[in-house]
Amino acid sequence: MAGFAAHILDEIRARVDIVEMVGQFVTLKRAGESYKGLCPFHTERTPSFTVNPKRGIFHCFGCGAGGDAIAFLMRQDRLAFPEAVRALAERTGVALPTSHAPPEPPGKLEELRRVMTLAAEFYSRSLWEPGGARAREYLGKRGVDTDVARRFGLGYAPEGWNALLTAMRADGVGEDTLLQVGLVKPRQTGSGCYDAFRGRLIFPIRDAQSRVVAFGGRAFLGEEPKYLNSPETPLYVKGQTLYALDLARDAMRERHRGILVEGYLDCLMAHQHGFTETVAALGTAFTPAQLALLRRHADEVVALFDADAAGQNASSRLEEMMADTMDIQDLGWSVARTGAFEKSGTLSIKVAVLPTGHDPDSLLREQGREALQERLEAARPLLAFVLDRTLGEDDLATARGRSTAHARVALMLSKVSNAEEATMLSREAARRLGVDATQLWIEAQQLHGARARGRRPDSGPAPSHPAAGPWPSPSFAERDLLALLLHVDEARVQLLAVIEDEDIAHPGLRKLLSALRNAPMAPSEALMADLETDAERGLLSALLVEDRQWTDTLIIIDEHRKRYDIRRRKQRIRQVSQAIAQAQAIGDPTLPALEGELRSLQREAEAVRELALTRPAPASPSAPR
**Cα 339 to Cα 352: distance, rounded to the nearest angstrom:** 13
Return the ∠ at Cα 185 (arms to 182 and 187), rounded to 5°: 170
Taking residues 365-375, report their average pLDDT: 96
Q: Are 265 and 220 in contact (CB under 8 A)?
A: no
Per-residue pLDDT, 469: 53
Check whether residue 77 and residue 130 sit in a common domain: no
- Same-domain pairing of 296 and 330: yes
Residue 75: partners with Cβ closer than 8 Å, 6 or more residues away? 41, 65, 67, 534
pLDDT digits (tens, 9 = 90+) for 209-223: 788 999 999 998 777
CB-CB contact of 66 with 541 (8 Å): yes
Q: What is the CA radius of gyration of the chain?
A: 32
As a whole number of Å, the end-to-end CA separation of the chain is 33
Highest-confidence segment of 151-160, 253-262, 317-326, 436-445: 151-160
Same domain? For 117 and 182 the reply is: yes
Let me know whether 203 and 257 are in one domain.
Answer: no
- Parallel/antiparallel/unpaired status of strands 348-353 and 380-381: antiparallel
Q: Where are the beta strands (DSSP E) in 21-179?
A: 29-31, 34-37, 49-52, 57-60, 66-68, 155-157
Instruction: Give the residue-averaged pLDDT of 543-549.
Output: 78
**Local structure of residue 257 (DSSP, 8 states):** E
Decide if pLDDT at 326 tops 80: no
Sheet holding 66-68, edge to edge: 29-31, 34-37, 49-52, 57-60, 66-68
Q: Which has more pLDDT, 449 or 258?
A: 258
Q: Are 71 and 534 in contact (CB under 8 A)?
A: yes
Q: Which pLDDT does position 607 carry in this prediction?
A: 63
Q: Per-residue pLDDT tens for 16-28? A: 888 888 988 888 8
Determine the pLDDT at residue 516: 87
Helices 133-141 & 108-128, crossing angle to 10 degrees? 80
27 is a domain residue: yes
- Domain with residue 44: its CATH number is 3.90.580.10
Residues 278 and 427 in one domain: yes
Mean pLDDT of 393-419: 76
pLDDT for position 315: 46
Rounded to an integer, the average pLDDT of 295-302 is 83
HEC string of 73-86 equals HHHHHCCCHHHHHH
Q: pLDDT value at position 611?
A: 54
Determine the average pLDDT of the residues in 309-334.
42
List the CATH number of the domain containing 154. 3.90.980.10
Last residue of a domain, one of 33, 60, 92: 92
Q: Which domain holds residue 61?
A: 6-92
Q: Same domain, yes or no, for 215 and 364? A: no
Of 57, 92, 127, the position where a domain reaches its end is: 92
pLDDT score, position 343 = 34
Task: Establish if 468 belongs to a structural domain.
Answer: no
Burial, 123: exposed, middle or buried (Cβ in 10 Å; 0-12, 13-18, 19+)?
buried
Residue 319: pLDDT band (50, 70, 90) is low
- Helix 6-15 to helix 69-77 angle (10° resolution) is 80
Give the pLDDT score at 179: 95
**Minimal CA–CA distance to 486: which of 438, 414, 548?**
548
280 and 145 in one domain? Answer: no
Domain count across the chain: 4
> Are both 429 and 353 inside the same structural domain?
yes
Would 600 be classed as within a structural domain?
Answer: yes
Same domain? 166 vs 271: no
Residue 510: CB atoms within 10 A of its CB come to 19
Q: Which of 248, 243, 181, 231 is nearest to 206 (CA)?
A: 243
- Predicted TM-score (pTM) of the model is 0.60
DSSP character string of 329-376: HHHT----TTS--SSTT--EEEEEEPPTT--HHHHHHHH-HHHHHHHH
Q: Is residue 300 part of a domain?
A: yes
H/E segment holding residue 261: strand 257-261
pLDDT in tens, 572-587: 777 767 777 777 777 7
Peptide bond into 381 cis (omega under 30): no
Residue 285 lies in a domain: yes
Last residue of a domain, one of 92, 116, 132: 92
Confidence of residue 280 (pLDDT cuts 50, 70, 90): very high
pLDDT in tens, 492-541: 888 888 888 888 888 888 888 888 888 888 788 888 878 888 888 888 88
β-bridge pairing 193-195 and 227-229: unpaired
Using the predicted structure, report yes or no on whether residue 60 has a pLDDT greater than 60. Answer: yes
Same domain? For 225 and 254 the reply is: no
Nearest 5 degrees, angle CA 337-CA 270-CA 354? 50
Taking each helix axis from N to C end, the angle separating 553-586 and 476-487, rounded to the nearest 10 degrees, works out to 120
pLDDT 10s digits, 173-209: 999 999 999 999 999 888 899 999 999 999 999 987 7
Please tell me whether residues 45 and 144 are part of one structural domain: no
Instruction: Give burial (CB, 10 Å; 0-12/13-18/19+) of 316.
Output: exposed
Residue 597 lies in a domain: yes
Report d(CA 105, CA 123) in Å as an integer: 27
Residue 579, domain member (yes or no): yes
CA atoms within 13 A on the CB side of 344: 11
Mean pLDDT computed over 420-445: 80
The count of other CB atoms within 10 Å of the CB of residue 453 is 7
3-state secondary structure of 538: helix
Looking at the structure, tell me whether residues 429 and 318 fall in a common domain. yes
Give the model's confidence band at 330: pLDDT under 50 very low, under 70 low, under 90 confident, else very high.
very low
The verdict on residue 117 lying in a domain is: yes
CATH number at residue 374: 3.40.1360.10
pLDDT score for 418: 61
Tell me the C-alpha distance between 342 and 419, whole Å.
11
Give whole-number Cα distances, 360 to 11, 305, 355, 418, 571, in Å: 48, 8, 10, 32, 78
